[in-house]
Amino acid sequence: MAKKLLAVWLLFCLTLAGCENSAEQEPPWLVEYDGGVINTAGQLIIAPPAADAWPYLYNDVLYSQDGRSCYAMQVESQLVEELESLLQPIPEWDGRYFYSTDFFHVSGRTFRFYDCFGELVHSVSVDTDEVPERNLRFCFAPNGDLSQSILLLDQLETNGRYQLLDYNGNLLAEKRGLQGLEGSGVEVTAAPGFLALRYATLDGHWVDFYGWDGQPLQLAQNYFDFEQLNFYGSRQLNKPLFYKARYTNAQGRRRYDILDGEGHVVAGNLLGIKDIGASGVYSVTQGWGNNVSCWLDLRSGRPVWLTENPGRPDYRAYAADDKLIAAMQTEQEYKYIFRIYYGDWRNYGPSPYFEGHRLLEPRGMVYDVLDENGRVLISGVSSVQYIGDDLFIVVRGFSRGLMNAQGEWLYQESIFTDLDD
């Protein structure tokens, strides 16, 4: 009897441990796919819009600063005019026409947000006077908190104002009385600790700073230009964020500060900042003394001053890839072999995989996905995009969708899905 009770107890403990492990498993993440959104478990979250739905409807994936795909967002616009009236002629093309987004004016937009399992978690509609479609947009909070995110209504050109709304559409902040230039608008940079709104008026160029609660912020200087410094050549997500801000000092000379994600100056009074393609290392000229030039390394999340140019690591990486490819013992003969890079602009950088190009009659050139030893993982695809976590968006034959590194379809559909027949 005691043995039976012990066996039941052990079974209960194992079952409980299994539940805890499954609860701790990371949820699937979201992937933009053919205008729609799927998750990495192979579930369709938002179907791609029909061909005649653009520009009324589009979908996107919202990422946090640390690289998590947090929500799928669907944006539905209420156009002021019928689409046919927005056709613009191309004189040199014998009367052909094109759609120009400069003429897409909306009277409102509805924003819908879905979690990684496809559940609708929030929806907000904003009605407005007629504005170009780009002037009513959503700014996702970098910490991934939907409730802290902000909507921007930009009426700089038409009404001389802009508004910041909370994620329910309530007014947080407003600036009026601006004389916007023709064709001008408000450019937004979303930092972890603040929003920077950059715009031009008849009086000059300006940058206004706000907290994510909509309260105005005063930073170290009155900046008139502002942009994010990017880590080219490496995965941008989950990297420390730094920003280049330009101002005029007390002597009337233009200088730069480098700010961190909270708006603190980490390097100031710089005469120039130049990206040298070294993934977070910049050539800078100090704006004091004898204008000394040196290199500033921001890769660790804090500024490190260098006295020597570190060189471009991508060149060294290419050379290392050449050696690796030359040593591969492949099962096929390939015309070319290249390293596969992450396909998402937010997440650019080299992947652990390679693509081998070979000729397959009568289809033409096809690709095999290879590991670093030259072993074929996925064969015969006509298109491949690496999205991370050993997952690929591929087209093979008459099928397309999401595939893992074992060559198994996680999400599959016909390439003829978009056709009416």
Q: Is residue 348 part of a domain?
A: yes
| Range among 3-7, 294-298, 398-402 with highest mean pLDDT value | 398-402
Total structural domains in the chain?
A: 2
The confidence band for 327, taking pLDDT boundaries of 50, 70 and 90, is confident
pLDDT at 347 over 90: no
Residue 339 lies in a domain: yes
Is 231 inside a domain boundary?
no
Q: Give residue 149's domain range.
A: 28-173
pLDDT tens, 80-108?
A: 665 444 445 545 444 444 444 455 677 78
pLDDT tens digit sequence for 129-180: 766 767 888 999 999 999 999 999 998 888 889 999 999 999 999 999 888 7
Length of the chain: 421
- At 317 the pLDDT is 59
What's the whole-number mean pLDDT along residues 257-262? 93
What percent of the chain has a predicted confidence (pLDDT) above 70?
76
Residue 237 has pLDDT above 70, yes or no: no
Answer whether residue 233 shows pLDDT above 50: no
Position 210 in a domain: no
Of 173, 194, 222, which marks where a domain is finished? Answer: 173
Domain boundary among 109, 141, 173: 173
Q: Kindly list the distances between the CA atom of residue 404 and the CA atoms of 250, 279, 332, 364, in Å, as whole numbers in the listed order.
A: 58, 29, 21, 24
Tell me, yes or no, whether 358 lies in a domain. yes
- CA 28, CA 272: separation in Å to the nearest integer? 43
Confidence (pLDDT) at 156: 87
Task: Say what the pTM is.
Answer: 0.79
Rounded to whole angstroms, the Cα distance separating 156 from 208 reads 13
336 part of a folded domain:
yes
114/134 Cα distance (integer angstroms): 22
Domain termination site, one of 126, 143, 173: 173
Which of the residue ranges 20-34, 203-217, 227-241, 352-366 would you say has the lowest mean pLDDT?
A: 227-241
pLDDT tens by residue, 110-119: 999 999 999 9
Note every long-range contact of 249-258, with CB atoms under 8 Å and residues 24 or more positions apart, other chains counting. 253/287, 255/287, 256/287, 257/220, 257/221, 257/223, 258/229, 258/296, 258/298, 258/303
Point out the least confidently predicted range of 173-182, 188-197, 283-292, 332-341: 283-292
Q: Copy the structure tokens of residue 196.
A: 């920077």
Name the band, by pLDDT with cuts 50, 70 and 90, for residue 362.
confident
Kindly report the backbone phi and psi dihedral angles of residue 67, in degrees, each rounded to the nearest multiple of 5, phi listed first: 95, 0
Nearest-CA neighbor of 189 among 226, 156, 222, 225?
A: 226
Please report whether residue 80 resides in a domain: yes
Lookup result for tokens 């991370």 = 388
Residue 212 lies in a domain: no
